[in-house]
Structures are given as C-alpha cells and as structure tokens.
Structure 1
Amino acid sequence: MKSQEEPLPKQYNPHLTENKWYDFSLKNGFFHADPLSDKPPFCIMLPPPNVTGVLHMGHALINTLQDIMARYKRMMGFEVLWMPGVDHAGIATQTVVEKHLIATTGKKRKDFSREEFVKHIWKWKEQHEEEILNQLKKIGSSCDWMRHCFTMDETSTEAVNFVFDKMVKENLIYQGKYLVNWDVITQTALADDEVEHEERDSFLWHFSYPIDGTDDHLVIATTRPETLLGDTAVAVHPEDERYQNLKGKTVTIPIVNRQVPIIFDNFVDPSFGTGVVKITPAHDPNDYEVGLRLSLPMINIMNPDGTLNEEGLEYEGLSMSKARELIADRMDKMGCLVKKEQYSHRVGVSYRSKAVIEPYLSTQWFINMAPFKEKLIRAVKEERVKIIPKNFEATYFHWIDNLRDWCISRQLWWGHRIPIWRHKEQKEKFYSSPDGKVPKEIKDTVDEYEQETDVLDTWFSSALWPFSTLGFPHKTAELKRFYPNSSLMTGHDILFFWVARMIMMGEYVMGEVPFKEVNLQGLIFGKSYFKENSDGGITYVTKKERANIEKSNSVPKGVFSKWEKMSKSKGNVMDPLEIIDAYGADAMRMAITASATASMHIDLDKRRFEEFKNFANKMWNASRFILMNLTLDAEDLQSPLDHSLFTLDDKWMLSRCSVVCEELKVLIEGYKFDQVAKLGYTFFWDELCAYYLEFAKPILFQKQGSKKQFRQKQILLLFFLIQSITALHPLAPFITDEIFFRLKSVLPIPSNHEIIQDPHIARIVTALKQVACQKVTYPGKVTDSDIDKDAEGEFAFLIRIITQLRNIRGEMGLPPSAPSELYISGGEKNIQFIKNHQELIGALIRLEKIYFDLYPSSSEFVCEAKVDDITLVLPMPKAFREKEKQRLVKEQDKLEALIFSLKTKLSNKNFTGKAPKELVEKTKLNLKEAEQNLDHVKDKLSN
C-alpha cells in the first residue's frame, strides 16, 4: 500500500476538482472522436445554443443528459462523437446587436450599410461565442471541442447553398405573394412554428354595414376594427336561411365608403354572432383563402413597421392599435356601433420579439412541403426514427396533418443570404447557385442581375445540422462513419422547429433518416411565490422575500406557490452557474437528472441540489473511509478470493452490485434518466453505505474474523467502490475522477497482473491501470454466479429483523450506543438462520446478549414485534426505565387533557350544529386517534 500524498479532507470541495479534471480530459483528448477507429460508432449532436445566448436550465438539462449518454457509450467501448456548435440565430442576434449599437453609437441598423452591419455582428459573435461554450464546459460537457461548428461557418454555408440550389432545381422552392406571419418589431416574416399563442383580454365590436339599395344593414363582429379599411366583401353561409334574399347584393363599408359584395361561402360559421363576417383577404388567413377562391381584391393597409399605409386614409402613419381605438370611436359617432363587449381570445405573438403577429401580404420564398408529408409520417410509423417517450408521436403526426408550406425567407441582414440572382427587368427570370457565388448561367451578363436581399430562416441551416457538421457536401470520413447519427436529445418544444425538419432534410439530401432515436425532454418549471391582490390579481414576492422562504423552507401565511415556466419577472429563474458555484457541477447534474421525468413539464425544486450535494459528500466520505482502512499491497491482489469465506452480506452485495449495474445500463439505454439517478443514489447510500460498510466494520477494525477475512473484506470493499464510482461516473464525472485518482495513487498494481485468475480482482486491477475513471469499462456483472437471488432474499429477511429492532429501540427512546438484551423465539429454520448471522445483527444493533427460545423474566417495559414466524422481544435496559416511565406519564396527562377538550367541543350543540361538517368530522377523528394513543400509553405503563 502506497501512502497518500495528501489525505482526503473530510468535506468534498468541488471547486478544487472540477476544472482540474476537465482540463485533464481535454489535454488527453478523451473527448475527441476518431472516424477511422474500429470501435462501433455513436454520434449525437448538441442542439446548438444561440451564439448570443447565456446558459439556462434548459441547456443544463439537455447537455447533462447528452453527456451522460456520451460518457456511458465511451465506457461501453463506442467511438463517440458528440458534436458541439452554436446557432447564428438570425432574428435574435440581429436584434441584440442592433440594440447594442443603438446604446453604444446611437445608430440604428439602417444607418449602416449591410456589409458594415454584418461586420459588427461577426465581431459580436467572436466576442460572445466563447462565453456560452465555456459555460457548457462548466457543466462537464464532454463534446469533441476540436470539431466545434457554427451554422454560418464555411462548411455549413456550403451545405446550405448546395441544398437550396438542389431544391430550386427540383421545383421544391418557389416564390409567391402570400399572407405571412409578420413581426413588426424585427420586420420579418415568421414560419407558423415560430408563432406562439397567448390568451388575451380584448373587446368584440359589433358594427352595422348598410345594405346598398335598402334601409337594412348587416351586423358583423370583429376584434380588429382597423382592418375594415381593407375589407373587400362580407360573407354568410350558403345554407343560412336568414340571408337567402341577399344574393347579388352589396354593402358599403363605412369610413372608406367602399361598395363590396355579399358572398356565400361554406367557411362561415352561421352560429357565431349574427352569422355574417367581414372579409379582409390581406390581413386574415381564412379571409385570404376565401379571397383566392373568389378572386377578391387584396388591399394591404399596413407598412412593414406595423403602421397604416396610404390605404389607411387619414389614419396613415398610426400604429394598428392606435387606429383601432380611433376607428371604433368614429364608427360609434357615425351610429354604426351596435355594441362592444369584453372578449378573450388567442393572439399570435413572435417567439423572439414577443410582438403581436400581423397577417401581412408579402412576397416570400417557400418550400413546398407536400412531397415530404408522407415520408415524414412513414419515418416514424416504420420506426426508422423512434420518438421517446412514444406519446409525443401523436403531437408529431398532428403537426404533419396540418402541415403548410414552409416560409423560409427572412427580411434580415444576418443569416445565409438566399443564393438567388434575379434579372433586374425580367423579374420572373432568376438563377440559383450551388456555391453561393454568381451562377455560371449569368457570368457574362451579371450586371443585369442582382442577388436576393433576404436571408434564409435560421431553421433551414439547423435542419442540415446532422450532416453539415460532418463535412457535407464533401465526402468526409466523419460523414461516412457517423451518419446517420445514433441519437438526438432535445426539448419537446422544438419537435417541429428542428426535429421534424432534420428528418425531412436527412431523407431528402442523404437518402436516410438523420438519427435512429429522438428523446424529448420536458420544459423546466420553477416554483414561484405570490400574494393575491384585492382585485383578484397576483403580485410575485420580492427577491429578498423569496430568499427568506427558501432559507426557512416554509411559506408564510398569505403567500402561495405554483410551478411555472421560468421567468425573471416571476423570480423563479435558476442560473446554472450560480447553482454550480453553490453546490458543485456534479450535484447540479444529478439533481436535474433525477428530475428528468418523462413529462411535458419538469418541476425543478431547489432542495434537490442540496440533496445531491449531500449525496456527493456521502460518496466522498464513504470513499475516504475505505481508503483510510485499506492496507492492501501488490501481493494481496495476486491471490484469488476464497468463496468459502463469503458471508451473507458479501454474497448479497455481490448480487446487488451486479443487478444494479446491469439495470443502470438498461435504464440509460432507455433514456430513463430520473430512474438512473434514483437507482444510483439508493444503491450507494442505502445499500453500500447503510448496510455493507457497517457490516464490514467489525472485520475492518479486526474485532472479528481472521487475517484472511480481513484481506478479503478489503478487496471486496475496493471492488464495490470501483464498480460504484464507474457506474456513477456519467452522472457525476468530477468527483468520481477524483476518487479514482486517489485510489490509483495508493494501490500498487501487481507486476504480473496479466495472469490474475480471479475475475473480481482482475476487474480491480484492469480498472486501476486506466488513466482516469472515464476510461474504465462501464461495470456489469463479473460472473453469472455473482447474481444470487437466494442471498438477496435471506438478506432482505435479516434487514426486516434489523429494521424492527431499530423501530422498537426508537420507540423506547434508546440511543444507538445503549446496549440492550434481545429475546428471540419462533420457527426452527429462521431461528437457526438468525443464529448463523447474529454477528451481522450485532454490527448494526448494540446488543448485550441474545437469548433464543426464551422470554424475559419480567414483562415490565418490554416491547415486541413479529417478522414472519419470529417474535422479537426487547426489554428496556434498567437505566432507561424510570426516564421512560416519566415520559409516558407526561404523555398520558397530555392526551387526557386533549381528549377532555375534544369531548367538550363535541358536546357543544353550537359547534356540532353550526360548524362546517368537515370540521366536526375532523374533530371526531382527532378524538378517536387521541383515545387510541392513550390506550397504547396505558398498556405500556401497565407492563
């Protein structure tokens, strides 16, 4: 046994180990993948965070789970490529940089040329990209950082241009004037998936439109009075009997005095309002479809910035919301307002800027999604892509059933500029380019053409991520080796944004789905605390109040809590870096892993971090204890274990360790990460530490057993520790690497280790030959005979006996150090079993003497319990009897006073007649419980 350079401190300090072992891994290239390796490949892509982003708990969750899988697969002998990268995030990045320039230079985007502005963004990107990557490294992400990618790097740009050109030439991309989702803040179109919906309170205005040539009028209802400026028809249902006489008639739109037809169309719901709807084709998706079918005029009333254009008459230049108020007021003054009522409805908002989405008629580029629909369905139905959990399949298919063409153009400067060159005069004449340069078809007439100014939707380049990162369109070794990817893990909120589109592009470009499995995780919710206001609203507690609640672990009266999506305004945001600083990266990783249930929302309780900080300390202290009690030298690791010396606890722990390690493999492979954390935690704490270590102490301290047993117990402890830390390494890489290093530093490896015959000692030596814990093969059963269900059953029986004895002693108020006598009677077989293993019972329960088939001479202060056919009788030691008697007398007085009070209350007719029924019933139950407890106390005193 070599001496330790430094003894392990009593407390684990994560800040002394995390950077050290992460840098060690980087220096030794542990995370780097070799495409020419003969190991089976495993490839997983990091969902690229935004280049301007900062780490949040969602990142921490997905990166931790991916890291668990990557580390596990390396330990299972795979050549693992975990590909990292960041996303250029078109809208988000351009918005952030423009705000920065306004704040620092006073200039807006349009005060710069396009080239100047884009240079500013590249500079910003270079300054901030490293920030989020370093944050990912703090978590312990074992990505292949040498292969770090960016969605606008040279390779990605090549892939984007190549695929876009291919789609244009195959008539899958087209340009058209369509109604799009318009973000008036960023002034760009958004795809349907980029629109979030919120329930908002508003008003429903009912206006009358005069029917031309009559004294009658039609009443329409709208939440958008300003859009009447663009009305080109009103519509009723063809079978609505109320309006059959209006065929061929027209109405006049007030304010604009525009005469428009009354049309009959099946899309109208005759039961909504009056059954009459206004038709504004340029500003409503349903009306747009009607306008196309019936060739109605499409009048655009809005500028790109959300103000009214020249079609807005005297309201030109006003915002849509301001014009809404003025037009509603004017309709009222004209006598056209029938009524105004409060109304709650879903409103579309931009997922980036949070601006209210305006349906807007503009010229955009689209991908025709119809040819992909069936392929997307089949990929999942045929299980070429498995969606885990399976319940998300229904969500996936629902999206495909409602699939619309994908709007891929964005009116931005930051992003992949669309590689289309259009003739300046003959607008219908254009060419695409596979390399982003001037198309060869127009090299001689390039002056007659100009490049498209729009950029591609960020999700276009992200959809190519599984193969663009591997070098596509070039035929690289990485592409050959690692495509299709093995797995993908991401949040369920980007199932459509990203996952479905990667499946689509993978099949289209590569002829193969991009990954075999998709594990979708829930969104992280934090607990928010609030107070209810007199008006029915709520006010969230202050940061100081929240800190006091979390510190005291109790919620004050008048304060309520609920789980909500994390938000700064709600005060429930948790910063991963602050959590790491307070609890350590391993504790954070294990806590969020334990919380990663297969649900839509993950309620992340801050107490979980404290729980797993304590667990890390438990791992540390158990390892410290074992290290302090190891006296093994090289010779001790050369002789095989003597199975005849195995005690019941040895057999039990060998079996449990084997079973648990095999179960952990199944759980990790099945993405059941919360169960991985739970099983690892309970095995290490509740089985290895709570029982096996305690049972080992008499032999370790040489109070029992022979020298041979002393040596063997140390080897087994060492074996179980190595199995445990290697099993837990994917979850807690830093502490396990540190413990492993400490083991390596004190344990000598035999010179002839190649010929060691004992499989358990061979596992120890083979493991300790590795340079780090992460290089050790993931543990499992060493031999089939290690799994011993008989030993597990016998040990479970023994633990039940120990548990009952602990309960009895706890009831008596005996401290663990107080010795007591034990009387045991029962069936012969179980009595013999207990006799054979009484030393194990004595290791955990302080017993003065055990008597078999006898009963105490005095029944005073005796407690007993049954375990199957065994009766356990424990007399209270004399030194504690008087104290216990005094306690019982006090308890009797207390219960008698309570019973008197409850009976008095229940005999009061005012209480039983007027109090709520639930309260009366609860009082009766409390009385019954108090009487039962009193009988129990009296029984003890009478004995």
Structure 2
Amino acid sequence: MATARTTDLPTVYQPQHVEERIYRFWEEGGFFTPDPSAKGRPAFSVVMPPPNVTGSLHLGHAWNNTLQDILVRRRRMQGFDTVWVPGTDHAGIATQTRVEKTLLAEEGLTRHQLGRAAFVERVWAWKNRYGDLITRQVRALGASCDWTRERFTMDEGLSRAVREVFVRLYEEGLIYRGNRIINWCPRCGTALSDIEVEHRDLPGRLVHVAYPLADGSGELVVATTRPETMFADVAVAVHPEDPRYRGLIGRMLKLPLTDREIPVIADEYVDREYGTGCVKITPAHDPNDFEVGMRHQLPAPRCIEADGRLNDTAGAYRGMDRETARRRVVEDLARQGLVRKVEEISHAVGHCSRCDTVVEPYLSEQWFVRMAPLAEAAIAAVRRGELQFVPERFERVFLHWLENVRDWCISRQLWWGHRIPAWYCDACGGITVSRTDVTACSHCGSSEVRQDEDVLDTWFSSALWPFSTLGWPDATPDMARYYPTSVLVTAYDILFFWVARMVFTGLRFTGRMPFHTVVVHGLIRDAEGRKMSKSLGNGVDPVEVIEKYGADALRFTLATGTSPGNDQRFYWEKVEGSRNFINKVWNASRFVLMNLGDGPLPPLRREALTIADKWILHRLALTVQAVDASLDRLDFGEAGRALYDFAWDDFCDWYIELSKLSLYGSDEAAKAQTRAVLVHVLDALLRLLHPFIPFVTEEIWRHLPVHDAPALAVAAWPQAEVADVDERIARQMQVIQEAIRSVRNVRSERNVPPGKPVALAVRVQDEETARLFAEARPYLMRFCQLHTLDIGTEVAVPAHAVTAVVTGAELFIPLADLVDLAEERQRLEKERDRLAAEVERAEKKLANPQFVARAPAHVVEAEREKAANYRSKLEAVEERLRALAEGV
C-alpha cells in the first residue's frame, strides 16, 4: 500500500470502505507471520481459543479476540517475535447435530439410514463448505493472526497428537473403561460434558414420600423431586449422628410401589438440615448417590433407559417417559396414602445445550480419565506460582475445582470426532489400544477385531491445543520457539472445562505449563443484565455491529467495557459513543494533515516550544506510561480509558485548538514547530491506539510523513519521554485551562453572544502567576474572546463584574447591564459552600493518622496541595462576597 498524499484523507471516515482493504494489505504484506530473522528477539505466542466451526462469531468471541489482539499487536510493535495461532474446533455434538438436522430437512434421511462412513463424509463436506465462515468473521474483527499456521482439531497432525495422548494415558493406567454416572441426553443419544449442560431454574415439586418400616413399626419420610426413579432405589441414607434416626440404621424399609425391601444406611453425605434428613439412594441415576453406593457396596439397577423411558424394573410404569411416570407415580403414592406433603419449589434442571432436552444422570459404561494424579500435579504447579491468574481471585476458584474433581468421561456416542483408538476382540474379549489402526488382536492374534464405535469428547482434543497446534508430539521448531505460550485469554465459564484440562495435559506431556498467565474475563450480557441466549432472543450478532459501525467501534466498546474478571453489558449507545470517538480522532487527523504545508517536516526542537507544546508532550508521556502500566497488568479497560481521555480532551479539545494560534499566525518558525509537535503527538497517539482500533489508525498513519515501517502494524511502540514529564508545566496549564473554562462558563450563563468580545481583569496573587497569565495572553484573548486583558497583583475590580476564582488568581468580567448583583451574590455563595465542603473533606482526610501514615508520600503531599488550593479559592470568594456586601 503506497503512501498517499495528505490531501487524500476523505472528509468522512467510512469503515465499510476501509476495513477489508486494510486487512488484505496486512495479510498480503505478511505482517502477522513471524520473520525468521526475529529469532534473536524474545518470543510472544498466543493460541486462539478455537471457536466451533458450526456457527458464527458471537459477542463473547469478539470480546475474547479483541483482548488477545490488543496484547499481540502491542508485543509485535514492541519488537517481540510474535505469533498468534488461529484455528477452529470440530465441535463434535454441535456439528453432528447441525448436519443431522440438515440431512433430515433436505433429504428426509437419518444418519443411521445413511451409514457411518457416508455420514462422516457429509460432515467433512459441510465443514469445508461452511467451516471458514468463522475465520472470515475473525478477520473482519481485525484479529492479527498468523493464518499460515491455521489449525483444525481434526487436522492430521492434531489427530495424531490426540491418539498419542490417549495411548500414553491408557498405558499409564490413567484412562480406563468402566460404569459411572454421566450426563446423558436421551434425544442426542450421547454422553455430554458439563459445559454442554445448561442449568435453568424451573418450577418443580418436592414430594415427601413415606417409606414404611418392613416390620410395620413406623416409617421414614423421604423428600424427592424425582419420584419416578424410586424403582432403582437401593437404600435410604441418614446422617450417622442424627439422633432422630440413629436407632433405625440397619433396619429394612418397604420400597413403595414394589415388592422389594431396602436398608437404612448411615452416611455423612446426608445434610441433616435439608428436607427430612432422609435421602433415597439411587446409584444409577444420581452422581452423589453413586458415590454413596460405591462406599457401601450397593447394587446399581437402572429404571430409566437411554431413550428416557422407564424399563422393566419400573413394573407397571415401563415404557412411560419421565414426565408421565413422575405424574403417575405421585398419583398412585397418594392413593396409597404414602404422600405426606408436596412443596412447590424452584430448582435448577440441566438441559442439553444443543437440543434442550432435560439431561438424565445415567449409569453407563464409558471411557474415563483418572483425574486425581493429573489434578495433583496441576495443583502443585499452581501453588509453586507457575501460573498467574488475572484477576488473582480465580486461582482459588481454579484450585477448589481441581481439589474436588471427579474422573472425566471422555467417550461420546457420536460419529463425528476423533474415534476412540481401542479395538475389541470377539475371540478372546481383549482390548487393544494402539497409535495405529489394528487388524489383529494384541492378546490372541485373532483378526476378529472391531474398533470402538464412540468418539472422544471434544474437550479431549482441545485440551492439547497449546502444544498440538505447534507440532507436538514432534520436536518442531515452533515447539522449541513458542512453547510454552505466553498468555491465555478466556471467559470464566470454561475455566474448568478447558483451562484446567490444558494445564494438566500440558504438564503431563511437555513437563511445562502451557502458558504462564490466564486472563479471565466475564460474559457479555444485554442492557438489562441478562445472559444473551437464543431462547431469550436477546443476542447481538457482532457482524451486524461491524456492518453498522465498523470493527473498530465494536472493539473499542468491548475493550473499554472490560473490568478484570467481570461481566459487561452491551449497549448500542456505547458503540455509538465509540464510533463518535473514532470520528473525533479521524477529524483531528485531517486537521493535522491539512496544516502540514508543502515543505519537509522540521525536526522537533524542544527549546523552541510554547507552554501548550510542552504541556501536550507532558500529557503524552504520562499517557504512554499509563497505557503501558495498565496493559502490563492486563487491565484493558483502564488502558482504553486513558487513551480516550488523552485523545478526546487533551489532544482534540485543547491542543489542536491552541495550536491554531501558531498555525494561523505569521511566525513561520512557530508554525513549523507546531507542525512538528502535531505530527509527533498524532504519530504516537495512533501507535498507542492501534492495538485497540487497528483499521482506522492504519488508514490514518499511512498518510503521515513518517517512514520507519511499512505498516503501522509493525511500527515501533512509543516510548515515554521522561524528559517531557514536567509537573510545573502541568500546573501552569491547569490554571490557564481553569481560566478559559471559567470565562466561557460566565459568557454562556449570561448569554453573551458568541461573537461579542468582553473585557477581563485578572488579579493575581504573586508575580510568578502574573508572568504565567502574561505568557498565556494569546490563548486567553482568542479563546475567551476578549478585547482587553489587564493582569496584575493590584488590579481593581471593575464595576458590574462577574467573579471567577482559579488557582492563584481572581477573574473579573465586567458585563454592565448583564450582571444582576443579587444573582451574582447567590452564585458566589453557592461556590463558597462548595469550596468549604472541599476544604472540610481534605482536612478531615489529612487529620486521619492512618491515611497520613499508610498512603504514599506523594499522595499525601498532593492532598495537602489540594487543601491549600481550596482554602486559597475559598478566601478569594469570601473576600469578593464582602466587597459586594459593601457595594464595591
């Protein structure tokens, strides 16, 4: 992209005409692919959390990718050897469900009618046709990924890594096949991971059912929300220290609606305060009951099958679906006089995230990962400080989950995914687990072998993502250079499902953490604070936002709305505000470019600077420091807000206006210096803003007379010029700004016509302030629209003057018949009360010995300066009130 002439910047910024062209320029320029010559520089690597190939970006993706891109772009500009690996996830159940629905709708076929091989071919075709939609949207957002390294969880290389991990874990005894409770979707016909289960609060009934003692001497009352599972009850548990039931432990109960008897057992799992303190134990249909059953060596019969219907164990209720059976069971229990109470409650019910079917806790033979040894290693590493969480509070949450983790069910009854590399021998019953496909049993040599029909949980392959994407298990140059990766950005809702699994697999198979920092953000909610979902219809398509306002506006909204670890609400008004900010930067840039003149840009000579020049360079240096500090501690919101304040207030609203005095004056040397300062500040501002709003900054920057890089995307990150930090200049400029604001406010309040000049008398407290106002005379004359300006320590108060008090001076604006003395007295009394309150607040703070002792010295000193400033202003206002009372 050749550098354009400065006059080529359009009058209006239209992102729709810029963003696609700019992104193509970046990709074609190879700016996102690491330069082989950069190997001597420190590495910074990130792997993108892989979105599912099934759908499109949602705002959570946009937020997550924006934060990653801010980190990546800044490090690239800082000279790091930077790589950001993009990719997508095959999303087993989500993709299979999508293709099954399409197949049924378009051809009237089920996957079983099509057959496994043909169905899998259809899924690959579907993925190849639609799977790149998500990557196009990632590009539209401006993500600076290295697309030459794009990966897919079912790529050949990643699939080899999955097999290698499975086989090693199996050989080490950490993968086993067994019967345990899992989440089961009767509609999809597969086990589900916890993240594929959405819990919703629904109305329900807590039914109190009497279980008679077998000898007829009494009863125990059990409270349950699922009476239809009672046919699989094997015991009733009470707390061993509950005095109500201690004498009943070991006794037998009649199981209602059956001819069976079950024992009363004691287990500390029971909460004595909940319900009746008696819990029916149904090991095949509740994960906690399963653990109780294991401890007491109880059987685990099933009464509900995989299709969600009751089986022969339920007797007369067999064949009924769960809801029908629940209703009929309660009716029959009531007829037998066994229902003691029914409570209407609200409780969380798990639903399949794909088809919305109520999930069934289900005892099933599945493949599991033995989690305890893996979790112990991860816990130890985190406690050694090898992993940092931002915010830090998530470390406790993370460790708590690992300390209480259960074995992980990794098999799924699907056809799309990584097929489990286990073969069963029909001849001897042996199981062969292998890295390569098997044609003969490893135990007896028989050729009568068949591969397991199930596939692996999607999270199994994504757990390897930080190292499988870099070429593991091979010792690739990328593994050597970029692993461990530098940082992971993720939402808190997958902290356990994904982050924990990456941590323990990374430690197990590479010996190192997969990343040293985890940045945790929240969820996007709507304006009312509700979670965005299809069922509520309150989701917002980020592509729609981009088409309407541009990617930069969306990115800036999401970045500045970030508060570490917290959710944020989405408002269209916020996006409009970000669009307005971008337009502000665009218009300010046009002003700078239009006033550069035709000659070469002169060097910046700091000895020739005006007070306004020195002040904007001071503010720029502080802003660079603030942005660096915020991004170093991974506080994106604070960094964005610091840039917003500097760009909008300091640069656009103040400095550009002040620069017009030189630019439109006759002093060519002053004009040249102002141009140099404008370009210097705008160049630095664009570099600072680039990670946040890359498209508009790249488009503007290519017009600047700056040629240190072929693109802003690879230009150097600005350094804070410590020599420019000048607090004295800052205090002086603050006084000038106070004075200009005060006079403008008076003009506005008194409805003085904009074009009508007024007089201003300034009574200063000392000669230093007099010199400051004298130096600021051109600014005051122009921006206060004055026809005369008197400055001095003995300046008389003009007749019919409105008074304003600023640091070190009193301003008197004579407005003759526009001044109502009673109104002026009332205004000054309000100002007196406000200043008195500020003095009281500051003095109370300084009188607090804990504040003075614990706060940093510069903070205490700043508070003392504030208090003195407020006292000085209060004295001036009180003096003016006395003069008005005396008729002066």
Matches within 5 A, 1:492-641: 492-527=492-527, 562-634=528-600, 636-637=601-602, 640-641=603-604
TM-score by length of 1: 0.84
Could you list the per-position Cα deviations for residues 441-464 of structure 1 after superposition, in whole angstroms to 9, with x for gaps in the alignment? 739935222211111111110010
Q: 5 Å matches for 1:266-281?
A: 266-281=268-283
1:868–1:229 Cα change, 3 Å: same
Conserved 8 A contact 2:439-2:449:
no
* 2:299 alignment partner in structure 1: 297
8 A Cα contact 1:207 1:337, kept in partner: yes
Which residue in the other structure is 1:716 paired with?
677
Counterpart-to-counterpart distance in 2, 1:21 and 1:244: 76
> What CA distance in whole angstroms lies between the structure 2 residues aligned with 1:588 and 1:314?
59
**Higher mean Cα deviation, 663-672 or 714-723?**
663-672
Residue identity opposite 1:64 in structure 2:
T
Count of residues paired in the alignment: 826
The answer (yes or no) to whether the contact 1:310–1:316 under 8 Å persists in 2 is yes
Structure-2 change in CA distance of 1:426 and 1:445 (3 Å): closer
Does residue 451 of the first structure (1) align with residue 414 of the second (2)?
no
Partner of 1:9 in structure 2? 10
| AA partner of residue 707 (structure 2) | L
Task: Give the 3 Å change call, closer, same or farther, for CA 372–3 of structure 1 in structure 2.
Answer: closer
- Does the alignment pair 1:802 with 2:804? no
Q: 1:14·1:735 contact (CA, 8 Å) conserved in 2?
A: yes
* Contact 1:163-1:434 within 8 A present in 2 as well: no
Q: Are the aligned partners of 2:52 and 2:91 in contact in 1 as well (CA < 8 Å)? A: yes
Code of the residue aligned with 1:822 in structure 2: it is L
Q: 1:487 to 1:264 in 2, by over 3 A?
A: closer
Question: Contact 2:424 / 2:451 at 8 angstroms: preserved in 1?
Answer: yes
CA-to-partner distance for each residue in 1:711-761, whole Å, 9 max, x for gaps? 121111111111111111111111111112222xxx4xxxxxxxxxxxxxx
| Separation in structure 2 between the aligned mates of residue 691 and residue 313 of structure 1, nearest angstrom | 83
Q: Structure 1 residues 217, 710: closer, same or farther in 2, change over 3 A?
A: closer
Q: Report the Cα offset of residue 815 of structure 1.
A: 4.2
Letter of the structure 1 residue corresponding to residue 675 of structure 2: Q
Query: Following the alignment from structure 1 to structure 2, what is the Cα–Cα distance between the partners of residues 723 and 242?
Result: 75
Contact 1:695 1:843 in 2 (8 A): no
Output the amino acid matched with 1:470: L
**For the Cα contact (< 8 Å) 2:90–2:417, is it kept in 1?**
yes
Q: Look up the SS of the partner of 1:825 in the other structure.
A: strand
2:539 partner letter: V
After TM superposition, the structure 1 = structure 2 runs for residues 120-135 of structure 1, keeping only pairs within 5 Å, are 120-135=122-137
Matches for 1:771-920 after TM superposition, within 5 Å:
771-782=710-721, 784-827=722-765, 828-853=767-792, 859-860=799-800, 862-876=801-815, 881=817
Q: Is the 8 A contact 2:419 2:454 kept in 1?
A: yes
Contact kept in structure 2, 1:364 and 1:407, CA below 8 Å? yes
Give 1:145-164 correspondences, 5 Å limit. Answer: 145-164=147-166
User: Who is 1:694 aligned against?
Assistant: 657
Aligned to 2:183: 181
Change in 2 beyond 3 A, CA 1:774/1:266: closer
Per-residue deviation, residues 374-399 of structure 1 (Å, max 9, x unmatched): 32123222221111111111211111
Query: Structure 2 CA distance, aligned partners of 1:31 and 1:222?
Result: 58
Counterparts of residues 641-656 of structure 1 (less than 5 Å): 641-656=604-619
Could you tell me whether the CA contact under 8 Å between 1:523 and 1:602 is conserved in 2? Answer: yes
SS in 1 for 2:526: strand
Q: How far did residue 632 of structure 1 move? A: 4.6
Give per-residue Cα distances to partners, 1:842-873, cap 9 Å, x unaligned. 3422111101246567522x211112331110
1:530 counterpart residue number: none
1:733-748 alignment, distance < 5 Å: 733-743=694-704, 747=705
Question: What residue in structure 2 maps to residue 233 of structure 1?
Answer: 235
> C-alpha offsets along residues 563-587 of structure 1, whole Å, 9 cap, x if unaligned?
1111345453221111111111111
**Does the 8 A contact of 1:694 with 1:843 survive in 2?**
no
AA aligned opposite 2:564: A
Asked if the contact 1:433/1:439 (under 8 Å) is kept, the reply is no
- Do structure 1's residue 202 and structure 2's residue 140 form an aligned pair? no
C-alpha displacement of 1:337: 2.1
The alpha carbon displacement at 1:150 in A equals 0.5
What corresponds to 1:364 in structure 2? Answer: 366
Q: How does 1:256-275 map to 2 (within 5 A)?
A: 256-275=258-277
CA contact (8 A) 1:661 1:780 kept: yes
Partner AA of 1:738 in structure 2: E
2:439 and 2:447 in contact (8 A); partners too:
no
Instruction: Give the TM-score of the pair, scaled to structure 2.
Output: 0.89
Shift of 1:342: 1.2
Q: Percent identity?
A: 40
Matched, 1:464 2:404: no
Which piece of structure 1 moves more, 800-809 or 169-178? 800-809
Distance 1:588 1:702, change over 3 A: same
SS for the counterpart of 1:563 is coil
Q: Say whether the 8 Å CA contact 1:22–1:140 is kept in structure 2.
A: yes
* Shift in Å, 1:127: 1.3
Q: 1:218 to 1:787 in 2, by over 3 A?
A: closer
Q: Deviation of residue 666 (structure 1)?
A: 2.3
> What's the offset of the Cα at 1:193?
5.1
Residue in 2 that maps onto 1:663: 626
Is 1:680–2:618 an aligned residue pair? no
What is the aligned partner in structure 2 of residue 115 from structure 1? 117
Q: CA deviation at 1:837?
A: 2.2
The equivalent of 1:899 in structure 2 is none
Q: AA paired with 1:826?
A: V
Deviation string 1:408-450 (CA, Å, 9 cap, x unpaired) is 11111111111111222443x2121124x22887399352222
User: Residue 799 of structure 2 aligns to which amino acid in structure 1?
Assistant: S
Structure 2 counterpart SS, 1:742: coil
CA-CA distance at 1:265 after TM superposition: 3.2
Per-residue CA deviations over 1:16-44 (Å, capped at 9, x if unaligned) read 11111111111111111246632321110
Relative to structure 1, is the Cα distance of residues 816 and 155 closer, same or farther in structure 2, using a 3 angstrom cutoff?
A: farther
Aligned to 2:145, the other structure's residue is in SS state coil
Change (3 A) 1:264 1:629: closer
Give 1:489's aligned residue. 489
Q: Name the counterpart of 1:28.
A: 29
Aligned equivalent of 1:332: 334
Deviation, structure 1 residue 5: 7.9
- Range that drifts further, 39-48 or 289-298: 289-298
Structure 1 residues 571 and 790: alpha-carbon distance in aligned structure 2, compared to 1, 3 A threshold: same
Give the Cα separation in 2 of the matches to 1:51 and 1:441: 36
Equivalent residue, structure 2, for 1:926: none
Partner residue of 2:398? 396
State the 1:491 CA deviation. Answer: 0.9
Which ranges of structure 2 fall in alignment gaps of 5 or more residues?
A: 828-880
TM-align CA RMSD: 2.5
SS in 1 for 2:788: strand
Following TM superposition, by how much is the alpha carbon of 1:153 offset from its aligned partner in structure 2, in angstroms? 0.8
Read off the aligned partner of 1:573 and give its amino acid letter. G
Q: Give distance in 2, aligned partners of 1:670 and 1:791.
A: 29
